[in-house]
Amino acid sequence: MPKPDSTEFDTYLLNGLPTKHLRGQTIAELLVEKEATGLGVAVERNQQVVKSAEHGQTRIEVGDRIEIVRLVGGG
């Protein structure tokens, strides 16, 4: 399979790091790619929470700041 042309990628910030993703990728697809699904995961896009019901429809745009967080031990 030929590699996708670089023009099909957009750059955005994922957890503070510049990252490339396929144009049109949704939050839901990103979570599957990162194996970050299920209880204890939440997503923020440009400092606004994206509710889990909206993950499937929310497409990542160029320049977006996406945060994926989870629960860890803490006091």
How far apart CA 75 and CA 47 sit, in angstroms, is 24
Q: Contact at 8 Å (CB) between 62 and 12?
A: yes
CB within 8 Å of 50: residues ≥ 6 apart: 27, 43, 44, 58
**Least distance between other proteins and beta carbon 40 (Å):** 5
Distances (CA, A) of 49 to 1, 14, 58: 36, 14, 11
**Least distance between other proteins and beta carbon 7 (Å):** 26
Which is closer to other proteins, CB of 33 or CB of 61? 33
**Least distance between other proteins and beta carbon 61 (Å):** 19
Which is closer to other proteins, CB of 1 or CB of 53? 53
* Site of interaction with other proteins (CB under 8 A): 15-17, 34, 36, 39-44, 47, 49, 51-52, 67-75
